[in-house]
Structure 1
Amino acid sequence: MTTYSIEFAKHILLQFGVILAVGSSCAVLSKKLKIPDVVTFLVVGTLLGPGGLGWIDIKADSALNQLLLIFGSCYLLFDGGVSLRFRVIQEVWVTIVSLATAGVLITAVITGLAAHYFLGLPFLVALLLASVIASTDPATLIPVFRQVRVKDRVSQTVMSESAFNDATGAILTFSVLGVAMGTGQFSLQAAALELGHQALLGMVAGALLGYLASTLIAHERYGFLQEYAPLVSLMAVIAAYLGASGLHASGFMAVFVFGFMVGNKELFGFEMKEGEQERMDDFVETTSLIMRMFIFFLLGSQVDFALINQHLIGGIGVVAVLMLVARPVTVFLCALPDRRARWSIEELLFICWTRETGVIPGALAGLLLGVGAPEAKLISSVTFLAILVTILAQATTTRWLAGRLRLLEAGPPQHTLG
């Protein structure tokens, strides 16, 4: 048993080394091609997976895979929260709340109708599929906006929506699942109350930890952990996620709000020394890059092309409606009435196009497989097709579209903790 454990550990360590070595080359290539690195990581991951060279073979249902995806997503959410600015969120919060709540429901209904038509599914099962892929993905969008400098209020709206709508998508998915499996009844009121509960507790947990961490690393008198700020950030990301989850709240939302608090710590009169701030910035940037490598190499390596091929035509039809019909309808219904934000048509069109599917929908699809949900394999197939198509089509064209719509900001992408 001991020999087996050592050999298994060596095998995993070898795969980690492959991801880091090949990922570094992919990052350089992405920079030269001027495309988001998550695209390159995903494509190369499919080539290195069991269906290709077989260099990466970490099972989707393994504890190691779940650990990497959960922690990686948490850290990228922290990174995204850090980049938000309070003054911008004040201006667009109505749009963010609308997109992250009603927007998910609108997207799910339209996409569910498409799944019912293209795949011949009973509407309840079609709605279950649509609920899984209705939310956008912060693990994809946050890295994209790290590399493509788009107008602040646009990028921060899309990132905030992606962080907040994961809870909505998960609640909607499990509400529909209960009805589909005959173990519950769907109640819009109950779902709304559950969403409010998870969101509020998640935000409170994240805010408290964010204030505590800011005090420990940046307070003039009590900031005795300033030189250990990177370590504090790691501990607090884990604490925010597990603490909120223990309260049956949204762990991802807690991590995002924690990052927002740390990124806006100057609002509390906190300020780190210049040298320590730079060390923290460098640590977060490097750690985020490593997390992107692991997440998207793993996602790529786990794509089952044989399964996707079984429902390819119908799946493409569903994904096309998701991208080209459901998303634009959702954005215009939720954002256009927000008179305070005064969105331009160019801004709305850009938001319509940025709705990548990724880690969280993939995790939900995996959970449905685990509990034996109706048509779980088909749902998993279409989910991974949505991940591939939206990342390859939308992430690669983000810079081009932002340029055409005159939404690019001058200068390189910024990465600062405030």
Structure 2
Amino acid sequence: MHESILFGIACIFLLGIGAQWLAWRLRFPAILLLLIAGFLAGPVTGIIDPDELLGDLLPPLVSLSVGIILFEGGLSLKFRELRQIAGVVRNLLSVGVIVTWAIAASAAYRVLDLDFGIAVLLGAILVVTGPTVIIPLLRHVRPSAQVGSILKWEGILVDPIGAVLAVLTFEVILQTELQPLARVAILGLLKTVVAGGLAGIVAAFVLLLFLRKFWIPDFLQNPASLMAVIAVFVGSNAIQAESGLLATTVMGLILANQKKVPVKHIVEFKENLRVLLISSLFVLLAARMQVRQFTEMGIESLAFLAALVVVGRPASVFFSTLGSELSWRERLFLSWMAPRGIVAAAVSSVFALRLSEAGYGEANILVPLTFFVVAGTVALYGLTAAPMARLLKISKADSQGVLMAGAHTWAREMARTLVDQGYEVLLVDTNRRNVYQCRMSGLSAMHANILADRFFSETELDGIRRLIALTPNDEVNSLACLKGRERFGRDQVYQLIHEEAKEEWKYGPPAADFGRYLFAPGVTYERLDVQFGEGAAIKRNRLTEEFGYEDFRKLYGEEAIPLFIIVDGELTVITADTQPNPKPGQTLISLVPAPRG
């Protein structure tokens, strides 16, 4: 018994993280692979049965996980993003929600022929999009900053709003007298806002107080913050049902926008936890589906889904963006991005059970219909959002740019070579003269300290994919990589090898504790400076069958240092722990010694 439970839990994590990794390798929407993996492991093969595996623990675990994900989502919301999009976000969360609710409820009532109360409840459930689906899709699609911010804010904040609407609708349905309906709805809304809002505010300020006073040691800060999120979620829900989602969102929002206590380590911890939770939740969601739920769906269900996609979302965006400065392309893309996620599935399961117990037979259709909409919208938007963004020309091109720390003479030569090949390069230096020389030669440069606390968070780095640290100061290079890997990832930060690592190389490649070592063993700043001083030059060679890499070596000798390889437009930085092996058809950028004699 215990072994089968452990096996099931292991399969959930294995399939979830495996699907995420495969999506990264294939550059494919992770959400789709997660749904496929869960569906194959659940109804197709029967390897995972979430209800048997977790039993009554499943609904509360799902709800708690969503609360934690919303807290992490709140941590990613910066008020400065609202300067140009505040009106659109406000309208989407008010007018847009009402329009979506009305159209979804009308479609459920007219097309699916549901009882009016059940139709209104289904409409309330389906107003949510949510960070569990929006954030992974945004990472895949990479739309323009303005559109991405709008979708992120809407996706995170609409979850608690949708949950509250569903709760209020459910309470109204159970009322037998017509007179107190308005009072029930208004009272429930006020209780949710007060309970959730106050709980989130109090929890955030208490946690900040403990962090500011150093009453929590460093090694307990992440666990303590997780404990606080769980406590405020459960406590708020105990006061008013489903208000915990609002509480955790508010808590994250406050922590993200205060400046008295650094919370970067908490953000990083929650980001990792979010990936694990989203992966597991979608596998569980898909594994709970039944094949018959889809085979029993008739043309009416497809028509209902079409109404949500073709009528509901476009109408919501149309009324929400009236008078805004968004272009028609941006509005059209917003109209084509409303996947439903975990919250809709979880809420429908809870209310279907309670309404069935109260004698509402039609409530049993809530769960399969919601799962059908979740799967349908995730598949539709997951497959079409990226092509739509490219068609509308609002997606960011696959970033290949380079951020260079150091703008001295030969760093400028490297930058010029890359710019001539069509790559974006931004040089950063604290030396004003170096920055001036960059700008005079037509290179993008900024006078700044790359080690400043807010450099990476406040500098516009769209289109930049990697960091190359070329300063004469080994410590600056290492610290720049340490900070830069939070933005670019450990595999995309590079630094010149320092003397200590150069000595260690005699016994094998040393661990790159900060950045990956550039070019070749022994290529320090001093060596490059000497070679450039002796007249070495950066050359670009297009390799062919007639002139391959061996011919290059014969021509320039072993002193030539390969720097970069370009393969079908993809820039690869050569590192000291890899042997360059460029093929015909590829472009090799290298430092070649000055001609002798």
TM-score (normalizing by structure 2)? 0.61
Letter in 2 for 1:229: Q
User: Residues 226-237 of structure 1: matches in 2 within 5 Å?
Assistant: 226-237=218-229
Q: Once the 2 structures are TM-superposed, how far is the Cα of residue 83 of structure 1 from its aligned partner?
A: 1.2
Q: Take 2:139 and 2:270, find their aligned partners in 1: how far apart are those partners?
A: 12
Q: Take 2:389 and 2:215, find their aligned partners in 1: how far apart are those partners?
A: 40
User: Residues 172-321 of structure 1: matches in 2 within 5 Å?
Assistant: 172-178=165-171, 180=173, 183-185=176-178, 187=181, 191-192=185-186, 194-217=188-211, 219=212, 221-222=213-214, 224-248=216-240, 250-266=243-259, 269-271=260-262, 277=264, 280-321=266-307
Structure 2 match to 1:56: 48
What are the superposed Cα offsets for residues 312-334 of structure 1, whole Å, 9 maximum, x if unpaired?
32111101111111111011112
Q: Does 1:347 align with 2:330?
A: yes
Q: Once the 2 structures are TM-superposed, how far is the Cα of residue 260 of structure 1 from its aligned partner?
A: 1.9
Structure 1 residue corresponding to 2:377, chosen from 382, 390, 405: 390
Q: Take 1:37 and 1:204, find their aligned partners in 2: how far apart are those partners?
A: 35
Q: Take 1:368 and 1:280, find their aligned partners in 2: how far apart are those partners?
A: 34
Structure 2 residue corresponding to 1:377, chosen from 350, 364, 368: 364
Residues 280 and 225 of structure 1: CA distance in aligned 2, closer, same or farther (over 3 Å): same
Residues 180 and 232 of structure 1: CA distance in aligned 2, closer, same or farther (over 3 Å): closer
Q: Once the 2 structures are TM-superposed, how far is the Cα of residue 415 of structure 1 from its aligned partner?
A: 7.0
Q: Does 1:127 align with 2:180?
A: no
Q: Once the 2 structures are TM-superposed, how far is the Cα of residue 147 of structure 1 from its aligned partner?
A: 4.7
Higher fraction of strand: 2
Residues 74 and 368 of structure 1: CA distance in aligned 2, closer, same or farther (over 3 Å): closer
Q: Take 1:314 and 1:304, find their aligned partners in 2: how far apart are those partners?
A: 19
Q: Does 1:136 align with 2:129?
A: yes
What are the superposed Cα offsets for residues 263-297 of structure 1, whole Å, 9 maximum, x if unpaired?
2232xx3236xxxx4x5454323211210121000
Q: Take 1:327 and 1:119, find their aligned partners in 2: how far apart are those partners?
A: 19
Residues 114 and 411 of structure 1: CA distance in aligned 2, closer, same or farther (over 3 Å): farther
Structure 1 match to 2:320: 334
Structure 1 match to 2:454: none
Deviates more, 1:231-240 or 1:164-173: 164-173
Report the structure number with the largest CA radius of gyration. Answer: 2
Q: Take 1:141 and 1:207, find their aligned partners in 2: how far apart are those partners?
A: 25
Q: Is the 8 A contact 1:178 1:184 kept in 2?
A: no
Deviates more, 1:33-42 or 1:95-104: 95-104
Structure 2 residue corresponding to 1:14, chosen from 3, 7, 26: 7
Q: Is the 8 A contact 2:88 2:320 kept in 1?
A: yes
Residues 16 and 152 of structure 1: CA distance in aligned 2, closer, same or farther (over 3 Å): same
Q: Does 1:73 align with 2:66?
A: yes
Q: Does 1:410 align with 2:463?
A: yes
Structure 2 match to 1:145: 138
Structure 2 unaligned regions, length at least 5? 397-461, 467-484, 488-597
Q: Once the 2 structures are TM-superposed, how far is the Cα of residue 246 of structure 1 from its aligned partner?
A: 2.7
Deviates more, 1:27-36 or 1:384-393: 27-36
Q: Once the 2 structures are TM-superposed, how far is the Cα of residue 224 of structure 1 from its aligned partner?
A: 4.2
Q: Is the 8 A contact 1:101 1:165 kept in 2?
A: no
SS at match of 2:198: helix
Residues 227 and 173 of structure 1: CA distance in aligned 2, closer, same or farther (over 3 Å): closer
Deviates more, 1:195-204 or 1:359-368: 195-204
Deviates more, 1:404-413 or 1:30-39: 404-413
Q: Once the 2 structures are TM-superposed, how far is the Cα of residue 187 of structure 1 from its aligned partner?
A: 4.5
Higher fraction of helix: 1
Q: Which has the higher contact order (CA 8 A, sep 6+)?
A: 1
Q: Is the 8 A contact 1:76 1:142 kept in 2?
A: no
Q: Once the 2 structures are TM-superposed, how far is the Cα of residue 364 of structure 1 from its aligned partner?
A: 2.2
Residues 190 and 26 of structure 1: CA distance in aligned 2, closer, same or farther (over 3 Å): same
Q: Is the 8 A contact 2:39 2:287 kept in 1?
A: yes
Q: Once the 2 structures are TM-superposed, how far is the Cα of residue 171 of structure 1 from its aligned partner?
A: 3.8
SS at match of 1:62: helix
Residues 404 and 187 of structure 1: CA distance in aligned 2, closer, same or farther (over 3 Å): farther
TM-score (normalizing by structure 1)? 0.84
Q: Once the 2 structures are TM-superposed, how far is the Cα of residue 20 of structure 1 from its aligned partner?
A: 1.7
Deviates more, 1:234-243 or 1:169-178: 169-178
What are the superposed Cα offsets for residues 32-65 of structure 1, whole Å, 9 maximum, x if unpaired?
222232221111101100x211111111993221
Q: Is the 8 A contact 1:167 1:198 kept in 2?
A: no
Q: Is the 8 A contact 1:336 1:343 kept in 2?
A: no
Residues 193 and 141 of structure 1: CA distance in aligned 2, closer, same or farther (over 3 Å): farther
Q: Is the 8 A contact 1:206 1:255 kept in 2?
A: yes
Q: Once the 2 structures are TM-superposed, how far is the Cα of residue 250 of structure 1 from its aligned partner?
A: 1.6
Q: Take 2:115 and 2:153, find their aligned partners in 1: how far apart are those partners?
A: 33
Structure 1 unaligned regions, length at least 5? 1-6
Deviates more, 1:68-77 or 1:202-211: 202-211
Letter in 2 for 1:246: A
Letter in 1 for 2:225: S
Residues 304 and 411 of structure 1: CA distance in aligned 2, closer, same or farther (over 3 Å): farther
Q: Is the 8 A contact 1:214 1:265 kept in 2?
A: no
Q: Take 1:38 and 1:104, find their aligned partners in 2: how far apart are those partners?
A: 24
Q: Once the 2 structures are TM-superposed, how far is the Cα of residue 16 of structure 1 from its aligned partner?
A: 1.1
Q: Take 1:351 and 1:188, find their aligned partners in 2: how far apart are those partners?
A: 33
Structure 2 match to 1:359: 342
Q: Does 1:33 align with 2:26?
A: yes
Residues 329 and 159 of structure 1: CA distance in aligned 2, closer, same or farther (over 3 Å): same
Q: Take 1:104 and 1:231, find their aligned partners in 2: how far apart are those partners?
A: 35
Q: Once the 2 structures are TM-superposed, how far is the Cα of residue 201 of structure 1 from its aligned partner?
A: 3.4
